[in-house]
Amino acid sequence: AQSVTQLDSQVPVFEEAPVELRCNYSSSVSVYLFWYVQYPNQGLQLLLKYLSGSTLVESINGFEAEFNKSQTSFHLRKPSVHISDTAEYFCAVSLTGTASKLTFGTGTRLQVTL
């Protein structure tokens, strides 16, 4: 079975500072990796995903994540955060192939302040 570990439950950061949210996964087989963002009182929005190919994936709003197979990690980074990035971020993994469920980490609360 797969599992996901997000070591940081909360990450406070000042606006315009860089940030890294850590995600490690465990699986004996190939997986797909995802980052989802959840704003207060809302559902989850897909931020970015790794399916295959380039290990560095980017989102449209400046986030990026790098798949590291040897370290079984998929850390999320942004070079300069904004107040509007304040949200809960979830790392998730699924098996490759059709109709595989998502297994989520416990989430990291990113709190951006002035």
Beta pairing class for 108-113 and 10-14: parallel
Compare residues 17 and 51 and give the one whose CB is closer to other proteins: 51
Compare residues 99 and 114 and give the one whose CB is closer to other proteins: 99
Close Cβ partners of 64 (under 8 Å, ≥ 6 residues apart): 48, 56, 57, 58, 76, 77, 78
Query: Taking contact as CB under 8 A, which single stretch among the options 11-19, 38-46, 55-63, 65-73 is the one that binds other proteins?
Result: 38-46
Span 71-90, contacts to other proteins by CB under 8 A: 90
Indicate whether 1 belongs to the interface with other proteins (CB under 8 A): no
Indicate whether 101 belongs to the interface with other proteins (CB under 8 A): yes
Indicate whether 69 belongs to the interface with other proteins (CB under 8 A): no
Indicate whether 54 belongs to the interface with other proteins (CB under 8 A): no
> Could you say which of 34, 63, 67, 74 contacts other proteins (CB under 8 A)?
34
Buried b (16+ CB within 10 A) or exposed e, 63-98: bebebeeeebbbbbebeebeeebbbbbbbbbbbeee
